Copies of this chain bind each other. A is one copy, B any other.
Amino acid sequence: MSLRIALLGLLAAKGPASGYDLAKLFEGSLNHVWQAGHTQIYPELVRMAADGLLAVEAEGARGRKIYTIADEGSRQLHDWLADREPAVTVRSETALQAFLLPILDTDEAIAAVERVKARAQKRLDDLKCLPPVADNPKFGKYALRLGLAQTRATIEWADETLHALRTK
Chain A residues with a Cβ under 8 A of chain B: 2, 5-6, 9, 12-13, 30-35, 77-78, 81-82, 84-104, 108, 111-112, 115-116, 119, 123, 138-143, 145-147, 149-150, 152-154, 156-157, 160-161
Contacting residues, chain B, for A153 (C-beta < 8 A): 149-150, 152-153
Q: Assess A34 versus B95: contact at CB under 8 Å? Given A9-B103, A100-B5, A103-B77.
A: yes
Q: Give the oligomeric copy count.
A: 2
Bound state CA distance, A146 and B77, in angstroms? 32
5 cross-chain pairs, A with B, having the tightest CB-CB distances, nearest first? A86-B93, A99-B143, A153-B153, A149-B153, A102-B138
Q: Assess A100 versus B146: contact at CB under 8 Å? Given A35-B89, A94-B86.
A: no
